[in-house]
Chain A
Amino acid sequence: MGLLTDLRSSIARAASTLFSEEDPKRIGIYGPPNAGKTTLANRIARDWTEHGDAIGPESHVPHETRRARRKEDVEIERDGKTVTIDIVDTPGVTTKVDYTEFLDHDMEKEDAVRRSREATEGVAEAMHWLREDVDGVVYVLDSATDPFTQVNTMLIGIIESQDLPVLILANKIDLEESSVKRIRDAFPQHETIPLSALEGDNMDEVYDKIAEYFG
C-alpha cells in the first residue's frame, strides 16, 4: 500500500514537472507600426531584468523592428509574488509596405528597398508567431491615432479566435491628441490600460495587469 502511495505521488510529481505552471508564458507585444511596442518592451526589460538591456532600437521611422525579438525570464514582482514571462517584441503588422514612404525619412532608395523587404519578412514572421508561438498578447495602440483600422480589427479578431488572453494598452497618453476613450469604445470587449511607455506613466497599473492576465 505504501509502495502504491509512493508510486502515485512520484507520478504526480513527474506530471507537475511536465505540465509545470512555472514555465514562463510567452507574451507577444503586438500592434500596428509606430505604436510604441519596442519602447514598451525596452521599458519592461529595463525595469525587471538584471542588466536592464534594451530589446531593440526605438525609432519614429515605421518598421524599425523587422525581426521578432524575445527576452526570456522577465521576472515581474507584484504583491510579494513573482511572475515570470518571456516577452516577444514583434514587428508592427500591416497589409501593405511601400518603400517610397521610407524615402521621406531621408533614406536612399537602396536602403528603403532593403528596409521594405525586411519589413515584409518581419510582418510574416509576426503573424506566424501569433498563430503558433505565443501564450498571450499585449496589444499596443497609439492613443493619439484612430483605432478603427482594419489591421486592428483583424488582429484582435485573430487573437480572439485563438482564445489568447489579451490586454490592450493605450500608449502615448503624454501626447495632447491622446484619447483613451476612443480605444475603449473601439474594443469594449477588452480591458484597456492607459500608459506612456516613453515617459513611464502608469506603468504600475500595466505591471499589475500583466501579472493578473499572464501570471
Chain B
Amino acid sequence: MIEMAEVKDPRDGVQIDLISAERMTGLTSMEKIRMILDGVRDGNIVILEEGLSPDEESRLIEVTMTEISPDEFTGLEIETYPRSEAADASFLDRLMGKQSAQKLTVIGPANQIETLHKDETLIQTLVSRR
C-alpha cells in the first residue's frame, strides 16, 4: 500500500493530498478507494488528477456507506465537473477504453467541505477545519 506522510495536527490547517494520475495507475479499484477513504477519514482533502471510472465511483459510494458511523464519520463530499466525458465519447473512443479518462476530482469529509457553486466549467468549494 502507498505510504503517505504523517498527518499533521488539524489545528495547523487542512491537509490537501494532490494525487497524480501516475500514482493511481497500477492500483486496483479497491486500493484506490481505500487510499481515498483513508485520507478523507483523516480529515484530508483528496484531489485526484484524473478521477475515478464510473464503476469505481459506484463502489466508492458503496464502501463509504458501510463506513459511516454516528458521531464519527458522516460520509464524503465529492466534486467533479457535471458532464462525464463518457457521454461525449464516440463508440471508437469507448472501445479503446478512452471513457475512463475522467476529470479532476475533489473529495473531502462531508462535514468539512461544502459546495458553493457548480456548473459545467467551475466548481467553488468551501473547506473548513474540523
Contact = CB atoms under 8 A, between A and B. Distances in A.
A207 B61 CA distance: 31
B86 interface: yes
A150 B61 contact: no
A160 to B, nearest CB: 6
Interface size class of B (residues with CB under 8 A): 20 to 34
B118 A148 contact: yes
Q: Quick one: which of A93, A113, A127 has the most chain B CB within 10 A?
A: A127
Interface residues of A, number: 31
B65 A97 contact: yes
B44 interface: no
Interface stretch (B2-10, B12-20, B73-81): B73-81
Interface in A63-107: 93-99
A151 to B, nearest CB: 8
Contacts of A154: 54, 57-58, 61, 78, 80
A128 interface: yes
A121 B65 contact: yes
Contact of A95 (B55, B59, B61, B80): B61
B111 interface: yes
Contacts of A5: none
A38 interface: no
Contact of A161 (B74, B77, B86, B110): B86
Nearest to B74: A98
B74 A97 contact: yes
Contacts of B86: 157, 160-161
Interface of A: 93-99, 113, 116-117, 120-121, 123-124, 127-128, 130-131, 148-150, 153-154, 156-158, 160-162, 186, 189
